Structure 1
Amino acid sequence: MRTRALRAGTGLTSFAAIAATVVLAAPSAQASVSSVSVSGVLHTVGTTYTITAKIGGVSGLLPVAFSDNGNKLETSPVLPNPLTGTAKIEWTPSSAGQHVITATQGFSTKSVAIDVREKSPITGSASGGSSNLGSGSASGSGEFLGGVIAGSS
């Protein structure tokens, strides 16, 4: 009876040692976001941009979650494209100020800070055109850059 218990214990110990070796020797299959970027240079409220997360490691099947200042984007998470190693999502900022855009896959997270500006109200005028019915013109006024350009008094 004692011999059986000793054999069973030795068998379990050997199995645990082999399992630990396999786990430690296995290649890393962790998800890895290597970078996150936002298309465009000057970002304004109401304009749509593409957020791109570059994915590293063996993580092509794991979804990537995107957020703006900690709030999950509406169509997030998305699956990465295994051919390009990227995950992309469209983003339209609804407020001005600094936005921290974050891409997360598994335990890997990368962020980028983007400054978003209000849309500048641009106005102008046009005139011209005539026919045998008469002529017409149109004009407008407004403020651009706080009255620095046209429309300030």
Structure 2
Amino acid sequence: MNHPTITEQLEAPEDARKAGRRKMAWARQHMPIMRSIGEAFAAQTPLAGETVAMAMHVEAKTAVLTEVLAEAGAEVAITGCNPLSTHDDVSAALDAVEGITSYAKHDVNDDDYYAAIEATIGHEPTITVDDGGDLVMAIHEEYPELIDSIVGG
């Protein structure tokens, strides 16, 4: 499946990224525990070699978690778990971070919502983070061959 990233779907992705980075910086500033974990994980890279597939409310606070997973060495693919809660600016900012691919887009139809989940699964995750169950359900129902390689979720 070849679903476009958020960067490929926006008319002005750089403008969106700037706004998203501002929100993420504010959130990180107010999340001292995540900052501390991110610093430790960046030095240790405990998730090197892992691929994390995420279906989350894509906004500034979950973006900090997503960045920390990438800082820990994981390759991360993220999409929204609810099309109405996705912040396109934050999604675009995440998509520009090395090690992160974001498919999350605000207000998509059902076909695009599930296509983005499929695209995230296409990264062949070894770890899942799912707020809602659609990602994990799709893996169990349509990609059971991935289950044995998933070490956490």
Q: With structure 2 as the length reference, what TM-score do the two structures score?
A: 0.21
Q: With structure 1 as the length reference, what TM-score do the two structures score?
A: 0.21
- Bigger fraction of residues in strand: 1
The structure with the larger Rg is 1
- Bigger fraction of residues in helix: 2
